[in-house]
Amino acid sequence: MPTWKLKTEGETFFFHLCHACNDKSAAGLAKAGWQKIRDGEPVSCNECTQKCTLTAKGLWGAEDAVRYAACAECPEYDSCPLKGRHYC
């Protein structure tokens, strides 16, 4: 799964995309200062984290307990390939 990283003065953000969404968004992310740090294995669109609560709320940089708590409430948790974990 393509993984992008943006480091600011106070925070580090991660953005995970399926390959189709990465193809559409790569140029814009790079222009906005994001760095592609991982290409990874393909993931289908229904697993794309553009729909992910962690991405929507900017919680990928949060502590494990915060990420896992948000994921535990997600109705898509069982089919999620990430389950709140970093793979970069």
| Domain ranges for the chain | 3-79
Query: Looking at the whole model, is its pTM more than 0.85?
Result: no
Q: Is the pLDDT of residue 69 over 90?
A: yes
What's the Cα-to-Cα distance from 51 to each of 8, 9, 31, 46, 85, rounded to whole Å?
Answer: 23, 26, 22, 8, 16
Which tens digits make up the pLDDT trace of 1-58?
788 889 989 888 888 887 778 888 899 999 999 999 878 655 554 556 567 788 778 7
Please tell me the distance from the alpha carbon of residue 43 to that of residue 1, in angstroms, as a whole number: 6
Is 6 buried (19+), middle (13-18) or exposed (0-12) by CB count in 10 A? Answer: middle
pLDDT band at 88 (very low <50, low <70, confident <90, very high): very low
**Quick one: pLDDT at residue 41?**
57
Higher-scoring residue by pLDDT: 80, 51: 80
